[in-house]
């Protein structure tokens, strides 16, 4: 089973455009999730939607492989290697949602394909769809839920909206009217949120979503992140998902909640009510797979050098390969509800992680554990971060990329085309950032010396 782009006919394209007209949509944003999870694309007036839906909308073919500074990176196979050719954006009509702060405007998430019909296999949405297809071959559907932290700051000063460490303090998180408006905008954008609260950092928020099946969960997370940034900027504020924007304040994470559903029975495949922690044999093997491939996954769950600044002692940012039942100090936390809600929480990913790739890497690692019938190592007592006997996760980007490159099984699950693009782009980003002069060095040496 393989993943493909959504395929339109002349009839489905016409029906899609007609539905938009009936809902008074005048402009449709064709959006592509890039390697970093940023939305890139084009806005199309309603009169042109039918044609572009049927034939595809031209876009520079290397868009999905741009680096975090929007620089085309050489030798990805998506740029000069193919003469900088275009790809075609193909809208998935199931992803249409309103853009509530713009009049009569909607967005649709797109897959991309080359002009010969081949899907761009390195596109993050396609990577996740491919791993989901692997899960289906093994007899499972997949439920996913993303959980994001982010800072909201003054647009001019770049400073947080309030001071202190107001985790769960209700009055502070509602003191700015734009934040209340944001919650309503998210709902009107189709983002089904279940909780919102202040986090440990000043001006830091956390939002949780209800679990969804398959790629729809990552689509929602993509809409969420880009909506938060775009809407709050229209309100004169800046939202940042940068993992560690302030040296002395809490970092921002993007924990991933995951469970498998038996495709035949419809039951939670992670649940065994007779087990002390409610863990089925499948959940145990899946968890061990996550642990076995965690070092390689680190390159995807923490995709920038800044992400590794979050990994500090006693900050609930995992630094080792560990698991525990209801244990916030572990990399994998077993949410032992012992009922249909039984699932695991991967606590490694940072807020800068791409929701499609974060889910794809976690699912791929867990499926490898199932394939190999991996035996879960016994849980150890005590705080996991204080146990030096656990294997350590990579502490910098170069080390994580080396671990990913060395993990042939995980690379095969994610696809060689994606691995090539991802590692080439990330190494280019690292090389560019190494050449930059840190502001701290300028502050330290420039004037006095």
Backbone angles phi, psi at 111, to 5 degrees: -90, 170
- For residues 37 and 355, is the Cβ–Cβ distance under 8 A? yes
Backbone angles phi, psi at 310, to 5 degrees: -75, -25
Global model pTM greater than 0.85? yes
pLDDT at 314: 80
Please give the chain's pLDDT, 449 residues, in tens.
567 777 889 999 999 999 999 999 999 999 999 999 999 999 999 999 999 999 999 999 999 999 999 999 999 999 999 999 999 999 999 999 999 999 999 999 999 999 999 999 999 999 999 999 999 999 999 999 999 999 999 999 988 888 877 788 887 777 788 989 999 999 999 998 899 998 989 999 999 888 999 999 999 999 999 999 999 999 999 999 999 999 989 999 999 999 999 999 999 999 999 999 999 999 999 999 999 999 999 999 999 999 999 998 788 899 999 999 999 999 999 999 999 999 999 999 999 999 999 999 999 999 999 999 999 999 998 888 888 889 999 999 999 999 999 999 999 999 999 999 999 999 999 999 999 998 999 999 989 89
- SS3 annotation, 266-305: CCECCECCCCCCCECHHHHHHHHHHHHCHHHHHHHHCCCH
Domains in the chain (CATH in brackets) are 13-119 (3.10.20.70), 129-435 (3.30.590.10)
pLDDT at 2: 64
At a CB cut-off of 8 Å and minimum separation 6, what does 38 contact?
226
Q: Which residue has 């890039």 as its token pair? A: 34
Closest CA to 55 of 3, 92, 85, 90: 90
pLDDT at 1: 56
């Amino acid at each position: 089973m393989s993943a493909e782009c959504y395929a339109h006919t002349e009839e489905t394209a016409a029906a899609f455009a007609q539905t938009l007209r009936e809902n008074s949509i005048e402009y449709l944003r064709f959006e592509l999730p890039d390697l970093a999870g940023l939305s890139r694309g084009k806005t199309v007036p309603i009169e042109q939607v039918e044609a572009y839906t049927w034939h595809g909308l031209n876009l520079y073919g290397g868009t999905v492989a741009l680096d975090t500074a929007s620089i085309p990176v050489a030798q990805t196979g998506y740029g000069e290697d193919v003469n900088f050719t275009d790809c075609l954006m193909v809208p998935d009509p199931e992803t249409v949602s309103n853009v509530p702060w713009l009049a009569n405007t909607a967005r649709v998430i797109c897959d991309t394909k080359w002009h010969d019909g081949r899907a761009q296999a390195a596109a993050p949405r396609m990577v996740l769809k491919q791993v989901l297809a692997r899960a289906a071959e093994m007899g499972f559907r997949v439920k996913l839920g993303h959980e994001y932290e982010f800072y909201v700051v003054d647009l001019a000063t770049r400073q947080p909206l309030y001071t202190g460490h107001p985790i769960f303090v209700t009055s502070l998180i509602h003191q700015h009217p734009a934040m209340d408006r944001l919650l309503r905008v998210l709902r009107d954008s189709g983002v089904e949120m279940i909780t919102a609260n202040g986090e440990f950092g000043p001006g830091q928020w956390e939002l949780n979503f209800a679990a969804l099946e398959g790629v729809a969960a990552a689509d929602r997370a993509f809409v969420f992140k880009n909506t938060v940034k775009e809407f709050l900027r229209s309100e004169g504020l800046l939202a940042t998902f940068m993992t560690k924007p302030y040296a002395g304040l809490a970092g921002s994470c993007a924990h991933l909640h995951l469970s498998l559903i038996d495709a035949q029975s419809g039951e939670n495949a992670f649940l065994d009510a007779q087990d002390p922690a409610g863990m089925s044999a499948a959940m145990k093997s899946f968890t061990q797979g996550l642990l076995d491939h965690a070092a390689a996954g680190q390159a995807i769950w923490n995709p920038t050098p800044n992400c590794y600044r979050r990994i500090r002692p006693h900050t609930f940012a995992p630094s080792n390969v560990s698991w525990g039942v209801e244990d916030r100090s572990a990399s994998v936390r077993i949410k032992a509800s012992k009922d249909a809600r039984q699932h695991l929480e991967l606590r490694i990913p940072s807020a800068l992680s791409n929701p499609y790739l974060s889910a794809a890497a976690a699912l791929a690692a867990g499926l490898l554990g199932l394939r190999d019938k991996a035996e879960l190592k016994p849980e150890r007592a005590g705080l996991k971060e204080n146990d030096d006997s656990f294997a350590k996760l990579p502490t910098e980007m170069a080390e994580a990329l080396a671990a990913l490159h060395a993990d042939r099984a995980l690379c095969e699950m994610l696809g060689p085309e994606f691995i090539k693009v991802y590692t080439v782009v990330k190494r280019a980003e690292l090389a560019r950032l190494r050449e930059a002069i840190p502001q701290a060095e300028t502050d330290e040496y420039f004037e006095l010396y």
